[in-house]
Chains A and B, each alone.
Chain A
Amino acid sequence: MPKIKSLEELRKLREQVQSEITTRTETGTTIIIGMGTCGIAAGARETMRAILEELHKRNIEAHVATVGCIGMCAREPLVDIEQAGKPRITYGNITAHKVPRLIEEHLINGHVIEEWTVGRLAQQ
């Protein structure tokens, strides 16, 4: 069984991040990607991959979650961005190549890309 990376690394990582996890899980940004059959067929998994890559490249710490079909199949891949203190924005047709602009404008510059949105949910 190949154990190239060892679980020992994970234990070290645990000690490293333990102190900061409470703040990180309660604040900040969550990105949610629709991953039903419709999303998968439209490229949602590649969108997720592009999002993870872009976050990594720009050193942004955000939570990423996937969900099943939410019923807007024709607009998949659907990506929701939720930031503390702001309305939750749903973007439609976010294929992988649109991800860099999405991350740049929404997360870095703080602008909603209006022409890509399909909805927004007021903050609770």
Chain B
Amino acid sequence: MRELSLHILDLLQNSLEAGANRLELEIIEDTKQNLLTITVADNGRGMDAETLRRVSDPFFTTRTTRQVGLGIPLFKAAAQRCGGDLVITSQPGTGTRVVATFQWDHIDRAPLGDLPSTLLSVLLARPDCEVRYRHRVDGREFAFDTQEIRQALGEVPLTHPQVRAWLEDYLRQGYAELYHASEDGQG
């Protein structure tokens, strides 16, 4: 896939399919250590050791609509191509955590891309699911938490057209701000 945020969307969709109602996405870009770390954690049904062993096999899938599952193998290949790796830990009944690492400046590393759209896709998939997103680029950080949003909104749903537009703007601004040249010293 052309953007890492598309792989992230795929992982988050997996979490939803696994019945999760709490998703956490953490992205840490540390240019000094030349490391990009993407973590997706959920409280879905989790996997046993046997399933976990087979999940990187493209000819394994739990879905019934088709016989191949390319999501994880593709993401793993992308990480390994960039001097990194993808590690999954999971506990049945507790949840799953996927950690992907990349050499930050590797020539083959795809850009993160349109991460706000990825998050919006997930918010529109299961509006009752809690989503927490934290993104750090060296000293800068942007954090987003649906619990906070819900508190401000009360009974108005996240999917309301006007709220949806607000969320999109909010995510886009926060994300863009992470990469602004810092003129104000320490934020």
Contact A61 B161 (CB under 8 A): yes
A17 to B114: give the CA distance in the assembly, Å: 28
Which chain A positions have C-beta within 8 A of B6?
A: 40-41, 45
Q: How far is the CA of A79 from the CA of B143 in the complex (A)?
A: 31
Whether the pair B13, A35 counts as a contact (CB closer than 8 A) is: yes
Q: Are A1 and B121 in contact (CB under 8 A)?
A: no
Pick the contact of A17: B121, B141, B163 (CB < 8 A): B163
- CB neighbours (8 Å) of A61 from chain B are 161
| Structural contact, A17 and B187, CB atoms closer than 8 A | no
B34 part of interface (Cβ distance < 8 Å) = no
How far apart are B137's CB and chain A's nearest CB, in angstroms?
A: 11
What 1/0 flags go to A41-52 for Cβ under 8 Å of B? 100011011001
Within 8 Å of chain B (Cβ to Cβ): is A118? no
Which of B17, B122, B160, B168 has most A Cβ within 10 Å? Answer: B160
Q: Which residues of B contact A (CB under 8 A)?
A: 1, 6, 9-10, 13, 16-17, 63, 65-66, 69-71, 114, 117-118, 120-122, 124-125, 140-143, 148-149, 152-157, 159-166, 168-170, 173-174, 177-178, 187
Known: A35-B9, A37-B70, A66-B125. A13 touches B65 (CB 8 A): no
Whether A45 and B9, one on each chain, are in contact in the complex, defined by CB atoms closer than 8 angstroms, is yes
Closest chain-A Cβ to B119's Cβ sits at a distance in Å of 11
CA distance A1 to B145 in the complex (A): 13
Which A residues from 33 to 79 make CB contacts under 8 A with B? 33, 35-38, 40-41, 45-46, 48-49, 52, 55-56, 61-71, 73
Which has the most chain A C-beta neighbours within 10 Å: B156, B159, B161?
A: B161
A interface, by DSSP: helix, strand, loop or mixed? helix
Chain A interface size, as a band, is: 35 or more
Determine whether A110 belongs to the interface, using a CB cutoff of 8 Å to chain B.
Answer: no
Check if A26 is an interface residue, CB within 8 A of chain B.
Answer: no
Contacts of B169 in A (CB 8 A): 5
Across the two chains, which residue of chain A brings its CB closest to B163? Answer: A13
Given that A5-B166, A52-B164 are contacting pairs, would A25 and B174 also be in contact in the complex, using a CB cutoff of 8 Å?
no
Residue pair B70, A2 in contact (C-beta under 8 Å): no
21 A-B residue pairs with CB within 8 Å: A1-B141, A1-B187, A2-B178, A11-B152, A14-B152, A17-B156, A17-B160, A17-B163, A18-B155, A37-B10, A37-B13, A37-B70, A40-B6, A40-B13, A41-B1, A48-B121, A64-B124, A64-B159, A67-B125, A68-B13, A73-B66
Knowing that A52-B165, A64-B164, A68-B17 touch, tell me 18 more A-B residue pairs with CB under 8 angstroms: A2-B177, A5-B166, A7-B148, A7-B149, A14-B152, A14-B153, A21-B155, A24-B160, A36-B13, A37-B10, A41-B1, A41-B6, A49-B114, A65-B159, A66-B124, A69-B63, A71-B65, A71-B66
Give min CB distance, B5 to chain A, whole Å. 8
Asked if B152 contacts A65 (CB within 8 A), the reply is: no
